[in-house]
């Protein structure tokens, strides 16, 4: 009977000793508490935790990829969209991420959702579609500053999708078409304006030098003669007709 009791005690001691040994991987750390108070951060490798008086909580230091579920956002120009994103973060201080917040993953997820709605709500739809890099940086900085007290480092934020209502898609397409037509009209008007300026300059130059008008007249005749046409109209310059008109007046 005594042998059996001794065997049970020895087995219990052995189990206690075995349970006190913990192995932590390279990317893991153990936050050890001694009688409920923080003692130290241990790992990686073999860690001894004294049963009953010590407890340990494991924390991973690898980067966590967290998907932010779609959020309903109303932009500054009153357009309702659904936006989702992905957040990359990692634990840099195991002690604070266990002591300062109950569940650092859930806390970071909720903070990412509210920050996403808050930041995008300050921008118009065009900015959401065209300036994603800037918005990603703004959200990342806000999240990183807020989670620093928890020992969390937010390394990157990427907006994945901006889903727009189909009616808004048609409206945006009409707006883009109107913008293209406006640019085409502006370019056409600018071309007409430049052509008119050149014509005015040419007229001023010809008026200052009558010989230039005669040369232009000869060029026009050459151009007409080169065309295949049964009827050829020869325009006469006023310089040639004016003397005959004055002689006719005198004869009267």
Cis preceding-peptide flag for 44 (omega within 30 of 0): yes
Q: What is the pTM of this model?
A: 0.66
What does the mean pLDDT of the chain come to? 82
| pLDDT tens column, 224-251 | 666 565 565 555 555 556 665 666 676 6
Q: How many other C-beta atoms can be found within 10 angstroms of the C-beta atom of residue 83? A: 20
> Of 164, 198, 232, which closes a domain?
164
49 lies in the same domain as 69: no
Give the domain CATH number at 150: 3.30.479.30
pLDDT band of residue 213 (cuts 50, 70, 90) is: low
Per-residue pLDDT band at 129 (split at 50, 70, 90) = confident
CA distance 114 to 104: 15
Same domain, 83 and 14: no
Out of 107-111, 139-143, 202-206, pick the least confident: 202-206
* 88 pLDDT more than 70: yes
Residue 2 placed within a domain: no
Sign of CA dihedral 142, 143, 148, 150: positive
* Category of 36 on φ-ψ map: left (φ > 0), alpha (ψ -120 to 50) or beta: left
pLDDT grade for 95, boundaries at 50, 70 and 90: very high
188 domain-assigned? no
Segment 146-159 shows an average pLDDT of 94
For residue 153, tell me if it sits in a domain: yes
Q: Structurally, how many domains does the chain consist of?
A: 3
User: Does residue 131 sit in the same domain as residue 113?
Assistant: yes
Of 42, 60, 78, the one marking the end of a domain is 60
List the domain range (segments joined by +) for residue 232: 209-251
Asked whether residue 49 falls in the same domain as residue 92, the answer is no
Whether residues 151 and 97 share a domain: the answer is yes
Domain presence at residue 202: no
């Amino acid at each position: 009977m005594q042998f059996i009791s001794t065997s049970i005690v020895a087995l219990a001691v052995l189990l206690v000793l075995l349970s006190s040994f913990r192995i932590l991987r390279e990317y893991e750390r153990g936050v050890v508490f001694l009688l409920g108070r923080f003692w130290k951060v241990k790992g990686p490798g073999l860690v001894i935790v004294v049963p009953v008086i010590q407890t340990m909580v494991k924390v991973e230091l690898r980067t966590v990829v967290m998907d932010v579920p779609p959020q309903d956002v109303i932009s500054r120009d009153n357009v309702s969209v659904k936006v989702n994103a992905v957040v990359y973060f990692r634990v840099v201080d195991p002690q604070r991420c266990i002591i300062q917040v109950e569940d650092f993953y859930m806390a970071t997820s909720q903070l990412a959702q509210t920050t996403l709605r808050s930041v995008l709500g300050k921008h118009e739809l065009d900015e959401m579609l065209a300036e994603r890099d800037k918005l990603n940086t703004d959200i990342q900085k806000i999240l990183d500053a807020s989670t620093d007290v928890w020992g969390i480092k937010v390394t990157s934020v990427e907006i994945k999708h901006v889903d727009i209502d189909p009616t808004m898609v048609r409206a945006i397409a009409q707006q883009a078409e109107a913008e293209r037509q406006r640019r085409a009209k502006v370019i056409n008007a600018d071309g007409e304006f430049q052509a008119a300026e050149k014509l005015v300059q040419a007229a001023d130059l010809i008026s200052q030098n009558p010989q230039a008008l005669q040369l232009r007249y000869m060029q026009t005749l050459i151009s007409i003669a080169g065309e295949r046409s049964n009827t050829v109209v020869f325009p006469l310059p006023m310089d040639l007709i004016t003397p005959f008109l004055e002689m006719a007046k005198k004869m009267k």
